[in-house]
Structure 1
């Protein structure tokens, strides 16, 4: 029973082990020229694709390998190498085999150098320019790949970190300006504490208006009615007394 369990573990490990290198190849995000987060562009090391002996491989194996390389070359947009591989696939197998041994690597190196030159844009920072020039001066595919896959993004991070932080401009105040006073110079301003109906201490006062006028008129009307009624009652008593 134990050997069955051990066999199951080994089978599981067999599936897990190949997956580990693939997971390690996943690159983290990087920055573009505007310091925005983007997915890194990872260029393939074509040398790792050549897993057969080109001297002893069959013509069919050489063509299959070439098609595999061409697929990666197109993913990396290496136009010169793409054109040359397509042209070699049309010719004899021996010419294709010879191309894979020598000329392919020279063309590949030239295409990588072109890719490095394309990163030297007007908005490239000083660290990017420095790292790119150093890779080009070294003149080796290993240096090219190191720059394109890692050094470019490290240099961009340094350039973006060195940029000054934008300070927001002061927002103009939304508070309206003070309204100029309508009081002309030399004209006294009345005291706000003085009530409208109060006397100024010299016998002068403001005339009653509004609700006070209506009240006085009502009282006057009532007095007139009472006076008229009293007059009529007195008149009747006088008439009876005379009779």
Structure 2
């Protein structure tokens, strides 16, 4: 079965649980030539479980086919063909580690493929792959943080701030002495004032005449 060991890095340089591929040879603890059919089937199921846990592409299907067949076929496969099928699975798994890999992972994988042995494949998948990934991840450039524009201080008006106009004093430059005078009256207001003045003037004249007649009668 796949075992959990110290964490390692995945393809995205993220820390993950390291996967350790089982050495299936350690499961074969019986003499296949003298073992009973039951013992052979038990061993085959143990190997099948390990192959499934390691997600091997070929071995699980082949073992299941032999388990569904005769006891002699199963025994013959475990004796002569098991290691060849398992070695092919491990080689395929090593090749898969080359996908989107860095320079160090590619070099380590190619070295294991060149050696072409089960021990070389297991060493790469269980240790060499993670060591090479650490080197590739360490060589990647550190992302540069983008500059954040500073906020405009609240006390300083920005370029888009609209400045309110200063209220105009009630005093007008046209007023005498520059104080207290209002704007000159013009237009309709001027006609109204003139009319009222005329009426007052007429009433004043009438009052004057009446008063004069009264004084004349009193004297007589």
What TM-score, normalized by structure 2, do the two folds share? 0.68
Of 131, 135, 139, the residue aligned with 1:162 is 139
Of 42, 45, 69, the residue aligned with 2:23 is 45
- The CA distance in 2 between the partners of 1:207 and 1:52, in whole Å, is 121
Unaligned ranges ≥5, structure 2: 163-168, 170-176, 181-220
- The CA distance in 1 between the partners of 2:152 and 2:79, in whole Å, is 78
Q: What residue number does 1:138 align with? A: 115
Q: CA RMSD in A?
A: 2.5
After TM superposition, the structure 1 = structure 2 runs for residues 174-193 of structure 1, keeping only pairs within 5 Å, are 174-175=151-152, 178-179=158-159
Of 71, 96, 108, the residue aligned with 1:93 is 71
Deviations 1:26-68 (A, max 9, x none): 5100011111010111111000000111111111100111011
| 2:93 is aligned with 1:118 | no
Q: What residue number does 2:188 align with? A: none
Q: Which has the larger radius of gyration?
A: 2
Q: CA deviation at 1:94?
A: 1.8
After TM superposition, the structure 1 = structure 2 runs for residues 13-28 of structure 1, keeping only pairs within 5 Å, are 26-28=4-6
Q: What residue number does 1:188 align with? A: none
Q: What residue number does 1:79 align with? A: 57
Deviations 1:181-211 (A, max 9, x none): 99xxxxxxxxxxxxx9xxxxxxxx9748xxx
Partner secondary structure for residue 11 of structure 2: coil
Of 23, 40, 52, the residue aligned with 1:62 is 40
- The CA distance in 1 between the partners of 2:178 and 2:97, in whole Å, is 88
Partner secondary structure for residue 79 of structure 1: coil
Q: Are residues 180 and 141 of structure 1, via their aligned partners in 2, closer, same or farther at CA, if it must alter by over 3 Å?
A: closer
Q: Are residues 178 and 111 of structure 1, via their aligned partners in 2, closer, same or farther at CA, if it must alter by over 3 Å?
A: same
Q: What residue number does 2:150 align with? A: 173
Q: CA deviation at 1:120?
A: 1.0
> Which structure shows the bigger proportion of residues in helix conformation?
1
What TM-score, normalized by structure 1, do the two folds share? 0.62
- Maintained 8 Å contact 2:4/2:20: no
